[in-house]
Amino acid sequence: AQKVTQAQTEISVVEKEDVTLDCVYETRDTTYYLFWYKQPPSGELVFLIRRNSFDEQNEISGRYSWNFQKSTSSFNFTITASQVVDSAVYFCALFSSNTGKLIFGQGTTLQVKP
Protein backbone atom coordinates (compact mmCIF):
# COMPACT_ATOMS: atom_id res chain seq x y z
CA ALA A 1 0.00 0.00 0.00
CA GLN A 2 1.13 3.52 -0.71
CA LYS A 3 0.75 6.24 1.82
CA VAL A 4 1.95 9.78 2.39
CA THR A 5 1.87 11.30 5.85
CA GLN A 6 2.24 14.97 6.65
CA ALA A 7 2.04 15.00 10.41
CA GLN A 8 1.93 18.78 10.74
CA THR A 9 -1.61 19.95 10.10
CA GLU A 10 -0.93 23.64 10.65
CA ILE A 11 2.21 25.67 11.18
CA SER A 12 2.36 29.35 12.05
CA VAL A 13 5.57 31.35 11.83
CA VAL A 14 6.59 34.96 11.77
CA GLU A 15 8.03 36.41 8.61
CA LYS A 16 11.75 35.72 8.07
CA GLU A 17 11.70 32.57 10.15
CA ASP A 18 12.80 29.32 8.56
CA VAL A 19 10.23 26.54 8.48
CA THR A 20 10.41 22.84 7.61
CA LEU A 21 7.44 20.85 6.41
CA ASP A 22 7.71 17.14 7.05
CA CYS A 23 6.69 14.35 4.69
CA VAL A 24 6.97 10.62 5.28
CA TYR A 25 5.94 8.09 2.68
CA GLU A 26 5.32 4.36 2.40
CA THR A 27 5.72 2.30 -0.73
CA ARG A 28 6.98 -1.09 -1.81
CA ASP A 29 7.90 0.17 -5.25
CA THR A 30 11.56 0.48 -6.14
CA THR A 31 10.79 3.18 -8.68
CA TYR A 32 8.62 6.05 -7.55
CA TYR A 33 8.43 9.82 -7.67
CA LEU A 34 7.91 12.33 -4.92
CA PHE A 35 6.36 15.75 -5.31
CA TRP A 36 5.57 18.92 -3.46
CA TYR A 37 2.67 21.13 -4.49
CA LYS A 38 1.61 24.50 -3.14
CA GLN A 39 -2.04 25.52 -2.94
CA PRO A 40 -2.36 29.28 -2.26
CA PRO A 41 -5.62 30.81 -1.05
CA SER A 42 -6.68 31.28 -4.69
CA GLY A 43 -7.04 27.48 -4.84
CA GLU A 44 -4.92 26.29 -7.76
CA LEU A 45 -2.30 23.58 -7.33
CA VAL A 46 1.19 24.82 -8.08
CA PHE A 47 3.89 22.26 -8.84
CA LEU A 48 7.09 22.88 -6.85
CA ILE A 49 9.37 19.89 -7.31
CA ARG A 50 9.58 16.27 -8.49
CA ARG A 51 12.19 13.80 -7.29
CA ASN A 52 12.69 10.23 -8.46
CA SER A 53 13.56 7.44 -6.07
CA PHE A 54 17.07 7.03 -7.46
CA ASP A 55 18.11 10.61 -6.91
CA GLU A 56 18.76 11.41 -3.27
CA GLN A 57 20.55 14.66 -3.95
CA ASN A 58 19.13 17.53 -2.00
CA GLU A 59 17.89 20.42 -4.05
CA ILE A 60 17.80 24.14 -3.48
CA SER A 61 15.75 26.62 -5.46
CA GLY A 62 15.98 30.12 -4.11
CA ARG A 63 14.50 30.11 -0.60
CA TYR A 64 13.18 26.56 -1.05
CA SER A 65 15.14 23.40 -0.34
CA TRP A 66 14.25 19.73 -0.21
CA ASN A 67 15.84 16.92 1.77
CA PHE A 68 15.15 13.43 0.40
CA GLN A 69 16.26 10.53 2.62
CA LYS A 70 15.33 7.03 1.47
CA SER A 71 16.63 5.51 4.71
CA THR A 72 13.87 7.24 6.65
CA SER A 73 11.37 7.45 3.76
CA SER A 74 11.19 11.19 4.16
CA PHE A 75 11.06 14.09 1.74
CA ASN A 76 11.08 17.28 3.80
CA PHE A 77 10.67 20.80 2.50
CA THR A 78 12.31 23.85 4.04
CA ILE A 79 11.46 27.47 3.36
CA THR A 80 14.22 29.85 4.40
CA ALA A 81 13.38 33.40 5.45
CA SER A 82 9.66 32.84 5.04
CA GLN A 83 7.46 35.55 3.56
CA VAL A 84 3.76 36.30 3.88
CA VAL A 85 3.28 35.15 0.27
CA ASP A 86 4.41 31.67 1.34
CA SER A 87 1.16 31.27 3.26
CA ALA A 88 -0.59 28.33 1.63
CA VAL A 89 -1.42 24.67 1.98
CA TYR A 90 1.51 22.49 0.98
CA PHE A 91 1.04 18.93 -0.24
CA CYS A 92 3.55 16.15 -0.49
CA ALA A 93 2.65 13.43 -3.00
CA LEU A 94 3.90 10.03 -4.17
CA PHE A 95 3.55 8.59 -7.66
CA SER A 96 3.76 4.88 -8.28
CA SER A 97 4.70 3.77 -11.77
CA ASN A 98 3.03 0.44 -10.99
CA THR A 99 -0.40 1.81 -10.12
CA GLY A 100 -0.24 5.03 -12.12
CA LYS A 101 -1.65 6.90 -9.12
CA LEU A 102 -0.49 10.14 -7.57
CA ILE A 103 -1.30 9.90 -3.86
CA PHE A 104 -1.36 13.04 -1.75
CA GLY A 105 -0.62 13.62 1.90
CA GLN A 106 -3.15 15.42 4.07
CA GLY A 107 -1.50 18.78 3.50
CA THR A 108 0.15 21.25 5.86
CA THR A 109 -1.34 24.71 6.21
CA LEU A 110 1.43 27.26 6.59
CA GLN A 111 0.61 30.70 7.91
CA VAL A 112 3.33 33.31 7.76
CA LYS A 113 2.54 36.36 9.84
CA PRO A 114 4.06 39.76 9.15
Partner 1 sequence: DTAVSQTPKYLVTQMGNDKSIKCEQNLGHDTMYWYKQDSKKFLKIMFSYNNKELIINETVPNRFSPKSPDKAHLNLHINSLELGDSAVYFCASSQRDKHTGELFFGEGSRLTVL
Contact positions vs partner 1 (CB under 8 A): 31, 33, 35, 39, 43-45, 47, 50, 52, 89, 91, 93, 95-97, 99-104, 106-107, 109
For the CB of residue 89, give the shortest distance to partner 1 in the complex, in Å: 6
Q: How far apart are CA 105 and CA 24, in angstroms?
A: 9
Question: Least distance from C-beta 38 to partner 1, angstroms?
Answer: 12
Of 79 and 94, nearer to partner 1 (C-beta) is: 94
Kindly write down the DSSP assignment for every residue of 22-78, as one continuous string.
--EEE---SSEEEEEEEE-TT---EEEEEEETT----EEETTEEEEEEGGGTEEEEE
- Smallest distance from the beta carbon of 51 to partner 1, in angstroms? 10
Cβ nearer to partner 1, comparing 11 with 80? 11
Distance of alpha carbon 114 from alpha carbon 102, whole angstroms: 34
